[in-house]
Structures are given as structure tokens and as C-alpha cells.
A and B are shown apart, each in its own frame.
Chain A
Amino acid sequence: MATEVIMPKVDMVMETGTLLEWLKKEGEHVNKGEPLFVINTDKAAIEVESTAEGILSGVKAKPNDVIPVSEVIAYILVAGEALPGKTAPQPAAAIAAPAAVQAPVLVEAALVSTETVLSSKVRATPVARRMAEKMQVDLTQLTGRGPRGRIQKADVLACQKLPAEPVSIHAPADVYAAPVSVPTPAFVHTIPAIAPIPAPAGQQPAIIPLPDARRKQVVPVTGPRKIIAERMSYSASTAPHITISLRVDMTEANRLRERLLEPLKAQTGQRLSYTAILARAVATVLPRHPYLNASLCGGDIILWEDIHLGIATSVEENLIVPVIREAQSRNLGQIVTALADLTDRARSRRLKPAEMMGSTFTISNLGMFGVESFTAIINPPESAILAVGKMVDTPVKTADGFEFLPMIQLTVSADHRVIDGAGVARFLADLKSTLENPYLLI
């Protein structure tokens, strides 16, 4: 019995995965437990190990194919096994040629045997294609329920979440003028996988003509990019952002860092970063400002007991946010260790999806790029995000003239539905006094 190689379901909400690359070639021997292929889920790239030993055969998927969960993409064969639907290799059979009358077909076979190669072209019925075009639905993002994933009318309708009443495609105006229902976010403990982009009621997406320019490349918005796009649009269009900045003198924090650099390196093997100090300071201060560690959920604001601190990290082209869980109960050394582990694995794309979910507050630091200050978009369903700029030696007036102090600019973007400006300012002032007297962190 050939072992099926399937697109694994690596988290509860995963429906499709994109094959990034095969680590073995067709016909190559593979051991059980050996990495076989890499997939890109909505959240991360994941290496998938072989569940059996044998020869990789019958490869049906190629890089960048979007494949429904559980779909067979190849087989692992041991000696004497054949691909399903084919007979095992056997000695040249002396089977008499069939009689002149071939086995007739009553119903035309649904499966065309020559079409065994999984095509990257979208399989969709004519009516599904036509409706998708009119409704501006991207067929490549749909999973069809028809044979071999064929997208049919029902799939396009389901995707649009239109009224259950069958839609007459003869009267497109009625359909498309219908307001798209704005989903009420039902955030509980986890962030929804995909927050649909809500369009303002009754308004059609504007059609803006593309520039008359030569195209260098067309990059499909899929995987992490798609998730970022959807979540940021969702946040920007639903949460009224207020942004408030404050400058912090980092003289004492620098001193602390210098004093702890060596001991912490001996203890953890890692260098103490400013991000770690900021994370520790935020985790210490945040419990005193619960509305900044909160989520708006329907008619309620949920104040979180735990501080799951998201650290915005850029990996290649994409933003990912690994999470330090229960940061409030970790000391500086533990935060250094956790942070180093998460960012290291984020960059090598080895993070598990669960490690990038469920943050309650996010820190984004662009100081390493020389950015002095910026504002960030809240990572939903959080209520606030802290943007950290570069440390700049800044002249500050003193009693007898002025002196240069290492200052950083902290900018908080907060959801005004949850908290007001004064509340954000109090948090920033608290954070400032903590960083300026970092011994409070002990």
C-alpha cells in the first residue's frame, strides 16, 4: 500500500497550504522523519517530514500550488508498490489483445486519465468564472467542492457570503449593490485567522485604472502577505487610532544594560538588547494600565490578565509577530532568552503557528534602521501598539547650559474605542519613569 503524502493541517483554521519547495526529488529515496517538503501556511513556512521510508513518487504538486488540507500531493513507495490506479510492475504479461469491440462506456468517464498532472490553472466551471469576475472574487483563493477541487457556482456564492436566497446572475446590479455585511468581530482568546476586509456598506470597491507602465513582476497576494493585508485593513478601517509620543532619556537604561551585558551573557548566552529592556519595562508597567492590554469584543472590552507580548519582526518581505507568553512573570534574563529564541526561529521560518498567535500587546522597533520615530497600526484584536525609534543623542537644557542625553521616542497607537488620550499618556509617562529609573524593574 503506497503511503500518501498529504498537505498537513498545522493549525485549526488552516484550509489550504502553499507548497514552497520539495526537499526531495521524484524518484529520490527518503527516510522516515526526514524533511520532505516546505509549505507556507497563512502564518509561517513549515518543513514537513516524511511519515514513511521509500521512494518519492507520483508527485502531483509543484512549488506555489495552493493545496487544500489533506489532499494527496505525492506517494512514498517501497519496492513492489505501485501508484494507486496503476498495477505494480510485473513481468511482460502475455495478455491477449482485447477483441475488436472495446469495452464500451455508458456514461462518459468523469475522470480523464491523461490529466493526472495537477495543473496550477484554476479549475472552475464557466458560471463560477463569470460570477467570480463580476463579484471581483479571486478564484485562486477559493477551494472548490467539485470533483478534484473544481470551483463551482456554490463555492463563489459561499465566498461572497451573500444571502442564502439563490442569486440571479441575470440581474447583477441587484447583487453587487447589496451591502456587504460587516462581520462583528468575535474575538475570544485567539485572533481570528482571517478578518474579512469590510467594505463600507452600500459602497462598491472603486475601480482605479492601473498605470500605463511596464510590469516588472506580478506578485500574487497570498499566504502571510494576504493575512497582513487583511488584518491591517481591518484594523485601520475599524479601530480609530490615536497616536501619542513621548521622549525618554535612556541614560540609566544604558547604564543598566552595560552593567548587565556580561552577567546576562554568561547566564543566557545572549546579548541584552534594547528591545529586551523595553519588553521587560512594558511587561512591568502594562498591568497598571489594563485598557492598553485589552480587546474590544462585540459590546465588551476584555481586559487581559496575561501579557502576551508580540514582538514585530521582519522576515524577508513579511511582518511576523512572535509572542512572549505571560511576559509579566518573566525576569529580564528569561525575556532575553525567549526573545532570542523566537526571533532566531522566526528568521529561519521555523516558528510554529501557535507561537505567532494570541498576543495582547505589540512592540515594534525600527530603531536599528535609523528611524527616529514612527506610528504603527494596531495588531488586532489588541488595543494598542508601541512603536520604538532610534536612540539619538539630543541636547537637553540643564541648570548650567545643556547636555546631550540619549533619547528615544516612544509612540503608542491605541484604539480610541477602548481608551482615551489621557490614558495612553499616563501609560507612556509610567513607562518613561520606569525606563529612566530602570532599577524599578528589579
Chain B
Amino acid sequence: MTTETTREITYLEAVREALVQEMRRDKEVFLLGEDIGAYGGAFGVSKGMLEEFGPERIRETPISEAGIAGAATGAALMGMRPVMEIMFMDFLTISMNQLVNQAAKMRFMFGGKCSIPMVIRAPSGSGTGAAAQHSQSLEAWFVNVPGIKVVAPSTPYDAKGLLISAIRDNNPVLFMEHKLLYRMKGPVPEESYSISLQSAEVKRQGRDLTIVAYSIMVPRALEAAEKLAAEGIEVEVVDPRCLKPLDTETIIRSVSKTGRVLIAHEAPVTGGFGGELAAVIAGSEAFDYLDAPIRRLAGRDVPIPYNRNLERAAVPQVEDIVAAARALAQEGK
């Protein structure tokens, strides 16, 4: 990925670059969402895009998430490639009927005569002091709906490549952008490139323990791994990047190698995607290599608190990952 054109940009800029490049490439691609035009979106992702693409392709909508999702589904049905932005993932709840009962189903219910090539971009997660209705991570709802793909990139490079793949995919794709990742910088090539959706990546090699983490938990797991390396514990960090379809092979290979796995996500532990990952691992050939129980480190089963200390305590932080990974790595040694 290091080419002459590679430079350091933020995750937010990487998302914007993917959108701009795809819109320049394909006139069917357009954006719709609340305040995405002159204001540039709640987090500034589409800043400057109105000037280049005009109000026809950067479409501002009323405050109606159901309307946005319905319009996007209809446009996709008619051959457009809409990218809808939901200001906070929490408000996907309002668009659920359009997404779950319409967008996800049509291709199947009409026997493949139509497809719904749309992307649902949604800022997710806590850490900004935005309280319980603006901080959720609702990926587990969507992975349970056949017909929708779910992507949760953790780096600027992955964000750009995966968003381009999501736009070119002929299925509804939920594209989760963690709010705290927007400001993180990383190397991204200028030119357009795509990353296959079903491709997990080993973000760090290690022999003692695998941490499967996605979205904001990846940089936290990497920081934890760095600290544990100083203690002689070598952690391997695997980022599935795309939760559905899931690249199980990379995960199973890593766990088979290390024999121990910690699954980290921000969403509440109960019914969270970690349970699915645990079941995939336990049911695979990696089972025979497990030398400790599969452990999950996830958000507490509480609405995200407004108080900053409580907000921090509600989801796994670097020190929590360090402690959980250390305990797991040392078990029985």
C-alpha cells in the first residue's frame, strides 16, 4: 500500500476521498442525508462536495430517517447507487422497516430480478459525550438480517478501500464509521483502490494470544498489544473489517496458532457480535487448539452514560484490554 502517492490523511478524509472518487467515476452514485450539503454533514465528511457535485447529487433531506432509507431503497431499485448518511447510527432505528423489510428483502423476494446497490453510512460508537441516544453500536441488529452486509473499518486505509467496495457492491451495505476514528490519521494512497469485503486482516502478529477486534477496538487492541509486548506477551490482533460476510478463515487460522482468543467490541456484551465470533471459533477446527476458554471483552449492558467517567467505564478501554489479555495469556502458564 505504500506507493508514491501514499500520504497521511484522516479517516474522515479517507471516507470523503472514496465518495468523491466513486462519484467522479460513476454518475449513478449520489449522496443523501441530513445537512450534508452546505453544512458538510454532522462530522464534516461531505464538506466541499456540494460545490463539486451540486445539489442533485448531494441531496439534503428532511429530518426523516425513514424517508432517507425509503428514498435510497427506491433509487437503488431503479438502478442508482445511493449512499445515504444517517447522522448518528442510533437513528437507524427509525429507518429499520425500509432497510430490514424492503432493502434487504427485495432481491430475494423478486427472484433476483432486481438488486439494491446502496450504502448506509452511519457514525457509531461512544466517547464523544453524546449520551445514550447518540453513542450506540448497533451492528448486531444488522448482522442478523440476511441481505444486508455490515462493514466496520478501523483505519483510514481500510475505510477508503472498503467504502469503494461497498459502493460497487450490489447489496445494501451498512458502513459503520466510529466517531473517534474520524480524526485518526494513517497512510492512504491517492488513487482509487478497493478492499474485498470478506477479508479480515492481521493487524499485528503475535504468538501468545489472539485479539479479534473491529472498529475503535482495533487501535485500542494494538496499543494494548504494545504494552503487553513490553511484558513479553506477544498479542496477535485480527481485524475482521467486515462482520458480514465474515472472513472466518483468517480468524480461525490465527486462533489455531495462538490457542487463546479474546474478542473485543464496544457494543454491549449480551447478544453482541462477540458471541457470534466465539461460536464460529468454537465450532471450527480451532477448537482443537484452544488452550483456554474463549473470552469476550465488550461493553457493559447499560445505555451509554452522559457522564464522561461513566461513559469511559461503560466500554472497554486500553487498560481493560491489557488486563483481560494478560490474564488470558497467563492462564495455566
Give the B-binding residues of A (Cβ under 8 A). Answer: 101-102, 104-108, 110, 125-128, 130, 144-147, 150-155, 169
Q: Do the beta carbons of B324 and A107 come within 8 Å of each other?
A: yes
What's the Cα separation between A48 and B10 when bound, in Å?
70
B300: chain A residues at CB < 8 Å are: 104-106
Q: Do the beta carbons of A126 and B302 come within 8 Å of each other?
A: no
What's the Cα separation between A154 and B324 when bound, in Å?
20
What's the Cα separation between A155 and B333 when bound, in Å?
8
B287: chain A residues at CB < 8 Å are: 126
Q: B76 → chain A, closest Cβ, in Å?
A: 39
**Does B295 touch A at the CB level, under 8 Å?**
yes
B290: chain A residues at CB < 8 Å are: 125-127
Q: A49 → chain B, closest Cβ, in Å?
A: 34
Give the A-binding residues of B (Cβ under 8 A). Answer: 259, 268-269, 287-292, 295-298, 300-302, 316, 320, 324, 327, 331-333
What's the Cα separation between A146 and B296 when bound, in Å?
19
Q: Which of B268, B269, B320, B332 contacts A125 (CB 8 A)?
A: B332
Q: B294 → chain A, closest Cβ, in Å?
A: 9
What's the Cα separation between A126 and B286 when bound, in Å?
9
Task: List 16 A-B residue pairs with CB atoms under 8 Å apart, sorted by A's residue number.
Answer: A101-B301, A104-B301, A106-B298, A106-B316, A107-B320, A125-B291, A126-B287, A127-B289, A127-B290, A144-B332, A145-B332, A146-B331, A150-B331, A152-B291, A152-B331, A154-B333
Q: Which of A108, A128, A147, A151 contacts B269 (CB 8 A)?
A: A108
Q: Do the beta carbons of B332 and A146 come within 8 Å of each other?
A: yes
Q: Do the beta carbons of A145 and B333 come within 8 Å of each other?
A: yes
Q: Do the beta carbons of A126 and B288 come within 8 Å of each other?
A: yes
Quick one: which of A127, A150, A151, A153 has the most chain B CB within 10 A? A127
Majority SS at the chain A contact face: loop
With contact pairs A126-B290, A127-B290, A152-B292 given, residues A101 and B302 touching in the complex (Cβ less than 8 Å): yes
Minimal Cβ-Cβ distance residue in A for B321: A107
Q: B41 → chain A, closest Cβ, in Å?
A: 33
Minimal Cβ-Cβ distance residue in B for A102: B301
Q: Which of B288, B289, B297, B332 contacts A106 (CB 8 A)?
A: B297
What's the Cα separation between A126 and B287 when bound, in Å?
6
Q: Do the beta carbons of A107 and B297 come within 8 Å of each other?
A: yes
B333: chain A residues at CB < 8 Å are: 145, 152, 154
Q: Do the beta carbons of A128 and B291 come within 8 Å of each other?
A: yes
Q: Do the beta carbons of A126 and B289 come within 8 Å of each other?
A: yes
Minimal Cβ-Cβ distance residue in B for A125: B291
Q: B3 → chain A, closest Cβ, in Å?
A: 37
Minimal Cβ-Cβ distance residue in B for A129: B288
With contact pairs A104-B269, A127-B290, A146-B292 given, residues A153 and B259 touching in the complex (Cβ less than 8 Å): yes
What's the Cα separation between A145 and B268 when bound, in Å?
32
A107: chain B residues at CB < 8 Å are: 295-297, 320, 324
B298: chain A residues at CB < 8 Å are: 106
Minimal Cβ-Cβ distance residue in B for A151: B332
What's the Cα separation between A12 and B144 when bound, in Å?
59
Q: B266 → chain A, closest Cβ, in Å?
A: 12
Minimal Cβ-Cβ distance residue in B for A149: B332
16 further A-B contacts with Cβ under 8 Å, apart from A106-B316, A126-B288, A128-B291, are A101-B302, A104-B300, A106-B297, A106-B300, A106-B320, A107-B295, A107-B296, A125-B259, A125-B332, A127-B259, A127-B291, A144-B332, A152-B291, A152-B331, A155-B332, A169-B289
A102: chain B residues at CB < 8 Å are: 301
Q: Do the beta carbons of A130 and B288 come within 8 Å of each other?
A: yes
Minimal Cβ-Cβ distance residue in B for A146: B332
Q: Do the beta carbons of B331 and A147 come within 8 Å of each other?
A: yes
Q: A340 → chain B, closest Cβ, in Å?
A: 50
What's the Cα separation between A38 and B166 when bound, in Å?
69
What's the Cα separation between A147 and B327 when bound, in Å?
11
Minimal Cβ-Cβ distance residue in B for A128: B291
A145: chain B residues at CB < 8 Å are: 332-333
B297: chain A residues at CB < 8 Å are: 106-107
What's the Cα separation between A80 and B292 when bound, in Å?
38
What's the Cα separation between A101 and B287 when bound, in Å?
34
A147: chain B residues at CB < 8 Å are: 331-332
Minimal Cβ-Cβ distance residue in A for B297: A107
Q: Do the beta carbons of A104 and B302 come within 8 Å of each other?
A: yes
Q: Do the beta carbons of B291 and A153 come within 8 Å of each other?
A: yes
B289: chain A residues at CB < 8 Å are: 126-127, 169
What's the Cα separation between A125 and B288 when bound, in Å?
9
What's the Cα separation between A178 and B268 when bound, in Å?
49
A155: chain B residues at CB < 8 Å are: 332
What's the Cα separation between A104 and B315 when bound, in Å?
11
Q: B309 → chain A, closest Cβ, in Å?
A: 15
Q: B235 → chain A, closest Cβ, in Å?
A: 16
What's the Cα separation between A110 and B330 when bound, in Å?
13
Minimal Cβ-Cβ distance residue in B for A126: B290
What's the Cα separation between A104 and B300 when bound, in Å?
5
Q: B166 → chain A, closest Cβ, in Å?
A: 32
B320: chain A residues at CB < 8 Å are: 106-107
What's the Cα separation between A101 and B314 when bound, in Å?
13
What's the Cα separation between A126 and B260 when bound, in Å?
11
Q: B145 → chain A, closest Cβ, in Å?
A: 26
In the A-B complex, the 7 residue pairs with the smallest Cβ-Cβ separation, listed nearest first, are: A146-B332, A152-B332, A104-B300, A104-B301, A153-B291, A125-B291, A126-B290
B316: chain A residues at CB < 8 Å are: 106
What's the Cα separation between A150 and B327 when bound, in Å?
15
What's the Cα separation between A102 and B269 when bound, in Å?
13
Q: A170 → chain B, closest Cβ, in Å?
A: 9
Q: B312 → chain A, closest Cβ, in Å?
A: 12
Q: A123 → chain B, closest Cβ, in Å?
A: 10
A126: chain B residues at CB < 8 Å are: 287-291
With contact pairs A127-B289, A130-B288 given, residues A150 and B301 touching in the complex (Cβ less than 8 Å): no
